[in-house]
Amino acid sequence: MDILQQFLTPFINAELLLLVAVGTLAGIFVGAIPGLSVTMAVALLLSLTYSWDMLPALALMLGIYYGGVFGGSRAAILVNMPGSPSSVATSFDGFPLSQQGEARMALTLTTIFSFIGGLVGVAVLATAAPLVSTIAIQFGQRDYFLLAMLGLLLIGSLSQGSMAKGVFAAGAGIILGLVGMDSIGGGSRFTFGSLQLMNGIDFVVAILGLFGMSEILYQLKTLNEKGQTVTLKKMVFPPLRFLFKFLPLSMRVSIMGVLIGALPGAGGEIAALLAYDHAKRTTKNPNRPFGKGAYEGVIAPEAGNNSAIGGALIPLLTLGIPGDAVTAIFIGALFIHGLQPGPMLMEQSGDLFWVMVGSSVLANIFLLIFGLLVVGIFIRVVTIPKQILLPIIAVITVIGAYALNNSMTDVYWMLGFGIVGFFMKVHNFSVAPLVLGLILGPLIDTSFRRAYMAAQEPSTFLLGFVNSPISILLTLAFIFTIFSQTKMYSRMKEKMKK
Amino acid sequence: MYSFKSSLPGILMVIVSLLVLSQAVVMENQSIIDPASGSFFPALIALIMLGAGIVTIFQDRSSTQKKAAETAEQENESNEADALETFTKKDYKLILIYFCLVIGFVILLPILTFFPAAFLFLLTSMFYLKGVSWLLNVTVSLATIVVIYFLFSQLFNIVFP
Amino acid sequence: MSMKKRVKLIGSALFLTPMLLLAACGGGNDTGASNEDAENYPERDISGVIQWGEGGATDNISRTLAPLAEEELGGTLVMENREGASGATGAQYVYDQPADGYTLLFGAENPNLYQVLGISERDYLTDFEPVSIIGQSYAGIVVKEDSPFESLEDLIDYSTENPGDITMGTSGEGGLPHVASAMLQAELGTEFNQVPYDGDGPLATALLGDEIDATVLAVSAAQEYVESGDFRMLAVINDEPLDSAPDVPAITEAYPEFEKYLPWGPFQGVFAHKDTPDAIIDKLSDSFEKAQENEEFQETLENLGVNPLNINGEEAIEYLEQNRSTSTWMLYDAGATETSPEEFDIPRVDEE
């Protein structure tokens, strides 16, 4: 009874209700603007809400969190500029959809399935938090390594045309991701003695350049062609059968999303990438090929990254361990408001847990409502003539790159990535593997080395892969995924059919 | 000459991977053979990149040979050709000049501060891209700057250069 | 706070404050460098640079202190995070700005070690003037509850007999566990297999997941897991047990030779460029001193497990010198760095 009451608190309390609503709406716009991140917004709220009570402060922050992760995909779909790493995967099929006049469809579908993903995340948080956190804790460095390698296998499906070029681009991405101070050895790598480079290359800067700036340059070509603006296909609401058709897929990737989100060392970006990979491997007859505007290609990553939020809250509330940068700030907020986030949190203030669960459900409901309502506003972006739209996006890209770290160096990097991305596009080199490498490279590097250092010897290190159940499972998944890309597998499959 | 041009991407790839590899080898305080050190992994990646580059050289060579022989109908190749063909010199000129405009904006940003630099950039780029009336141009430029300034600087406390 | 009031607050937070700020920085473009009259200081927004990322201890403390200091200063503090390279990026940035008191560094203990570890040329004592040292935290040596090591002596004995067998989680070069391991190695000849993680959170996770055998955590961070029965704290690095963890023995109980290093631990402080006019430093110091007296802020510090210091001027400089000497010489003696602190004229602790 108590639990139900706590759960319903944010629904009944007008103040909390309003704060979650304001937070979600603001989050959608913050996430949609490249260069403004949810992390920045939540950090600002930390000092703003210092004198508030704890629950209202958390309600507002939670709203921003859900809205922001969702909002990131708006720009990814409309202008091919993912607002955050977790919406990179959405742009693979989202932007092609919008170029073919189906922006409204893409925006609506992602909203509905973000909502579903978000709810799955909260449901797992509410029912299985202790179990999931036990699994997450057992996830060793070797397992992170395997998980990242699994993600890296996406190169195979992302590199259009030549596989070798895809591998090369991913390798270049990994190297770029390693630039800066080596968090393990302490030395610096590929910095050429520059302190600016010690900081590493922010992957949002790379995304702004490779996707945003290069797209601007690429679009200039079609500037003066007739029909310069995309004609929007008329579509009020996706047919109901879509909901049922994509429900099983969205459920599967949502469960994946929660589990990955719950890992303290991996978050929404990896959840979204693996969800995309999963969708691509399991969908037999997509409406269009993946990469050219498959509905599954936008649904899966969006369901995945939103369910990862529920996952990220699990280690936060059960162990006091942040699952990502945003939940790290939540920890700060709990401290400031007099709580001790840690394994005792649930026992000491159990009401907090259920109020958070309630607020999360509420945030998802608002996300669905606002998400659908603002489709009409966002959609206008596509109809703005390019002569006006491109310069505006150029300014946002430049300012966004600067705003990340208040650094002009980042702006120059962004321009560099822009020109590289442009030429890659012209020569039919997909930029996706490059971004994949940038995101996964540092994780692969650190997890591999930590696992190796802990094992101390090559034999112990190799044995580790078959020593724990999680490692065995991931190793098998890795081997199977590679095997399934070989010709032998497809031949075997054909034989089986016969 | 033609075959050199076709294997240019591969050659570039090989050069880049060799550069990376050399940087990994000369890295300070690291031993390249120890998997736990900071240079082992980058060196490994560089080798893989090198392999990909070499494969590309051979692939491109054989595919151009094929092309010469039987005018290959492979989808990728024709796609690539399409994309390259549609980019005329005029297109490149437009893109190059526009990119210079963006660079100019970035250089002026710390000198002129955000307001004038962004205003100037928006005005000239919309003028350069043609098709926008002056009134609309000025209105859009002003509105964009005010909105961006409000969002980034005021709401998010970002100190503009 | 009533509902109406809160709505108003959100409203002003999201929309009005920026407008007021806009008005406030109207005359802010006359960058008259260092000659500004301290009486009029601050005439424009002061930029506060936090050298660690959002959500860390330094970030939490800085962001809660900032609004309080604003009231005392009568100006606006615009906070930003410039993390990276163990905080060296932020320190360098503040150093590169004009020494007019309009850019402040909100930093932790790390810059004391930059020179010796070769991370950066910047250093608190040579490049910055302390405005205020806010507080110090304590470190504790922890193992998992089911670990065979019941006491610090067990751990030390085992690691001296089986060098490299115990995996010690660290938070990278110059971090708390790294320096503490150096301390143990220098005095007792222990040898650990050190595996670096990204901070307290990942370290706690690694210990829970049996990836590492022992680590050194801020007492406040570890205390929760000790209470829940997940961790056992073997000792606190202090010369007497702490009020917050009365059952845990001080390291000096078993090994009195550590006395000379203490008090030692991570700290947070506010710093300005070395050449900032004294009058402005004084004004800043006064304001920050008063701001820290706020009761709510003291509670926040207590929640974060930080022992309030609130010192400035000579006292702060002495504190920095002591901390730097301890950490740098310890690292050097343990062989964790080849650069001798002598190269930077850092005296040994014993000589003071």
Q: DSSP per residue over B26-62, as a string?
A: T-TT--TT-TTSTTHHHHHHHHHHHHHHHHHHHHHHH
What is the model's pLDDT at position B47? 92
**Contact flag A426-B84 (C-beta cutoff 8 Å):** yes
Q: Kindly list the residues from chain B whose CB atom is less than 8 angstroms away from the CB atom of residue C47.
A: 159
Q: Which domain holds residue B104?
A: 89-155
Q: Kindly list the residues from chain C whose CB atom is less than 8 angstroms away from the CB atom of residue A264.
A: 201-202, 205
Burial A393-415, CB ≥16 within 10 A → b, else e: bbbbbbbbbbbbbbbbbbbbbbb
CA C176/CA C335 separation, integer angstroms:
16
Option in B38, B83, B145 nearest A187 (CB): B38
Tell me the pLDDT of chain A averaged across its residues: 85
Name C128's Cβ contacts closer than 8 Å, sequence gap at least 6: C91, C94, C95, C105, C111, C122, C271, C272, C273, C274
**Contact flag A213-B102 (C-beta cutoff 8 Å):** yes
What is the model's pLDDT at position C9? 43
As a residue count, chain B comes to 161
- Give the lowest-confidence range in A84-88, A120-124, A297-301, C1-5: C1-5
- What share of chain C in percent tops pLDDT 90? 7
Burial B107-134, CB ≥16 within 10 A → b, else e: ebbeebebeebbbbbbbbbbeebeebee
Q: Give a yes or no: residue B126 inside a domain.
A: yes
Picking from B26, B51, B85, the residue at the C-terminal end of a domain is B85
Same fold, C44-137+266-344 and C142-261: yes
How close B104 gets to chain A, by Cα (Å)?
12
Q: Where are the domains of chain A?
A: 2-464
Name A63's Cβ contacts closer than 8 Å, sequence gap at least 6: A19, A20, A21, A22, A23, A24, A25, A26, A27, A359, A363, A366
Q: Enumerate residues 277 to 316 of chain A having a beta carbon within 8 A of any beta carbon in chain C.
A: 315
For chain B, how many structural domains are there in total? 2
Best probe of the A interface among C224, C233, C294, C338, by most A CBs < 10 A, is C224
- Mean of the pLDDT values across residues B74-93? 59
Task: Judge if B12 and B68 occupy the same domain.
Answer: yes
C120 band by pLDDT with thresholds 50, 70 and 90: confident
CA–CA distances in Å: residue C207 to residues A140, A344, C210: 11, 17, 5
Option in B59, B132, B136 nearest A162 (CB): B59
**Contact flag A427-B80 (C-beta cutoff 8 Å):** yes
Picking from B33, B67, B85, the residue at the C-terminal end of a domain is B85
Burial C36-50, CB ≥16 within 10 A → b, else e: bebeebbebbbbbbb
Residue recorded with tokens 């090559």: A458
Residue recorded with tokens 């020109």: A419
**Contact flag A52-C1 (C-beta cutoff 8 Å):** yes
Residue recorded with tokens 């000092």: A47
Task: Judge if B93 and B77 occupy the same domain.
Answer: no
For C28, phi then psi, to 5°, come to -90, 10
Name B136's Cβ contacts closer than 8 Å, sequence gap at least 6: A388
**pLDDT tens for residues C177-233?**
888 888 888 888 888 888 888 777 788 888 988 889 999 888 877 887 888 888 999
Residue recorded with tokens 């740098």: C328
DSSP collapsed to 3 states, A304-355: HHHHHHHHHHHHHHHHCCCCCHHHHHHHHHHHHCCCCCCCCHHHHCHHHHHH
- What share of chain C in percent tops pLDDT 70? 87
**pLDDT tens for residues A27-64?**
998 888 877 888 888 888 877 777 788 889 999 999 99
C29 band by pLDDT with thresholds 50, 70 and 90: very low
In terms of DSSP H, where are the helices of A208-265?
214-220, 240-262
What DSSP string runs through C204-225? HHHHHTTS-SEEEEEHHHHHHH
C141 SS3 class: strand
What is the model's pLDDT at position B4? 62
C27 band by pLDDT with thresholds 50, 70 and 90: very low
What is the model's pLDDT at position A225? 54
Q: Is the pLDDT of residue C5 over 50?
A: no
**pLDDT tens for residues C269-312?**
999 998 888 888 888 888 888 888 888 888 888 877 788 888 88
Please tell me which residue, B113 or B105, carries the higher pLDDT value. B105
Under 8 Å between Cβ of A367 and A118: yes
Task: Judge if B67 and B97 occupy the same domain.
Answer: no
C11 band by pLDDT with thresholds 50, 70 and 90: very low
Task: Judge if B55 and B42 occupy the same domain.
Answer: yes
How close C48 gets to chain B, by Cα (Å)?
11
Q: Is the pLDDT of residue A437 over 80?
A: yes
Residue B59's CB: how many other CB atoms inside 10 A?
Answer: 18
Best probe of the A interface among C211, C213, C268, C298, by most A CBs < 10 A, is C211
Name C294's Cβ contacts closer than 8 Å, sequence gap at least 6: C68
Under 8 Å between Cβ of C178 and C215: no
CA A199/CA C86 separation, integer angstroms:
9
Best probe of the A interface among B14, B102, B141, by most A CBs < 10 A, is B102
Tell me the pLDDT of chain B averaged across its residues: 78
Is the previous residue joined to C42 through a cis bond, with omega within 30 degrees of 0? yes
**pLDDT tens for residues A391-400?**
998 998 898 8
| Helices A14-32 and A2-12, packing angle to 10 deg | 60
How close B42 gets to chain A, by Cα (Å)?
6
Contacting subunits of B (3+ beta carbon pairs below 8 A): A, C
Q: Give a yes or no: residue B143 inside a domain.
A: yes
How close A49 gets to chain C, by Cα (Å)?
9
- Mean of the pLDDT values across residues A473-480? 87
Contacting subunits of C (3+ beta carbon pairs below 8 A): A, B
**pLDDT tens for residues C45-61?**
888 888 887 667 788 78
What is the model's pLDDT at position A70? 93
As a residue count, chain C comes to 352
Q: Kindly list the residues from chain C whose CB atom is less than 8 angstroms away from the CB atom of residue B113.
A: 29
Q: Does B154 touch chain C (CB under 8 A)?
A: yes
Option in A199, A320, A343 nearest C84 (CB): A199
A118 band by pLDDT with thresholds 50, 70 and 90: very high
A247 band by pLDDT with thresholds 50, 70 and 90: very high
Option in B113, B150, B159 nearest C18 (CB): B150
**Contact flag C79-B157 (C-beta cutoff 8 Å):** yes
Which overall architecture, per CATH, does domain C44-137+266-344 show?
Answer: 3-Layer(aba) Sandwich (3.40)
**Contact flag B41-A449 (C-beta cutoff 8 Å):** yes
User: For residue C206, how far is the Cα from the chain centroid?
Assistant: 22
- Mean of the pLDDT values across residues A206-228? 77
Contacting subunits of A (3+ beta carbon pairs below 8 A): B, C
Q: Does B64 touch chain A (CB under 8 A)?
A: no
Under 8 Å between Cβ of A328 and C201: yes
Q: Domain C142-261's class?
A: alpha beta
Q: Is the pLDDT of residue C347 over 80?
A: no
**Contact flag C1-A140 (C-beta cutoff 8 Å):** no
Q: Give a yes or no: residue B161 inside a domain.
A: no
Q: Kindly list the residues from chain B whose CB atom is less than 8 angstroms away from the CB atom of residue C17.
A: 154
Q: Is the pLDDT of residue A254 over 90?
A: yes
Option in C82, C211, C304 nearest A405 (CB): C82
- What share of chain A in percent tops pLDDT 70? 95
CA C132/CA A79 separation, integer angstroms:
47
**pLDDT tens for residues A381-418?**
877 888 888 899 899 889 888 887 777 888 999 999 99
How close A157 gets to chain B, by Cα (Å)?
15
How close C134 gets to chain B, by Cα (Å)?
24
- Give the lowest-confidence range in A131-135, A209-213, C40-44: C40-44
Tell me the pLDDT of chain C averaged across its residues: 79
Tokens for A150?
Answer: 């699994």
**pLDDT tens for residues B116-151?**
899 999 989 888 887 778 888 888 898 888 888 888
What is the model's pLDDT at position C352? 44
CA A260/CA A202 separation, integer angstroms:
22
Please tell me which residue, A159 or A174, carries the higher pLDDT value. A174
Q: Kindly list the residues from chain C whose CB atom is less than 8 angstroms away from the CB atom of residue A137.
A: 205, 208-209
- Mean of the pLDDT values across residues A446-450? 88
Option in B150, B154, B159 nearest C80 (CB): B159
CA A260/CA A198 separation, integer angstroms:
29
Task: Judge if B20 and B78 occupy the same domain.
Answer: yes
Q: Is the pLDDT of residue A324 over 60?
A: yes
Tokens for A196?
Answer: 């600016």
Q: Where are the domains of chain C?
A: 44-137+266-344, 142-261
Residue of B nearest to A458 (CA): B35
Residue of C nearest to B112 (CA): C29
CA C319/CA C329 separation, integer angstroms:
16
How close A338 gets to chain B, by Cα (Å)?
26
How close C80 gets to chain B, by Cα (Å)?
8
Q: Kindly list the residues from chain B whose CB atom is less than 8 angstroms away from the CB atom of residue A412.
A: 106
CA A480/CA A493 separation, integer angstroms:
14
How close C263 gets to chain A, by Cα (Å)?
25
- Taking chain B, what is the end-to-end CA distance rounded to the nearest angstrom? 48
Task: Judge if B43 and B30 occupy the same domain.
Answer: yes
**pLDDT tens for residues A56-104?**
999 999 999 999 999 989 989 988 888 788 888 999 999 989 888 888 8
Q: Kindly list the residues from chain C whose CB atom is less than 8 angstroms away from the CB atom of residue A335.
A: 60, 300, 303-304
**Contact flag A160-B13 (C-beta cutoff 8 Å):** no
- Mean of the pLDDT values across residues A119-140? 90
**How many contacts (CB atoms, under 8 Å) link A and B?**
178
- Mean of the pLDDT values across residues A468-486? 84
Option in A390, A396, A419 nearest B148 (CB): A396
CA A64/CA A59 separation, integer angstroms:
9
**Contact flag A52-C84 (C-beta cutoff 8 Å):** no
Residue C246's CB: how many other CB atoms inside 10 A?
Answer: 7
Residue recorded with tokens 């910095």: A191
What is the model's pLDDT at position A228? 41
As a residue count, chain A comes to 498
Tokens for A90?
Answer: 């959405």
CA C327/CA C125 separation, integer angstroms:
14
Q: Is the pLDDT of residue A447 over 50?
A: yes
Q: Is the pLDDT of residue C82 over 60?
A: yes
CA C301/CA A331 separation, integer angstroms:
14
Q: Enumerate residues 367 to 386 of chain A having a beta carbon within 8 A of any beta carbon in chain B.
A: 385-386
Torsion of CA C339, C342, C344, C349, to 10 degrees: 110
Under 8 Å between Cβ of A279 and A296: yes
Q: Does C335 touch chain B (CB under 8 A)?
A: no
Q: Kindly list the residues from chain C whose CB atom is less than 8 angstroms away from the CB atom of residue A64.
A: none
What is the model's pLDDT at position C37? 60
C16 band by pLDDT with thresholds 50, 70 and 90: very low
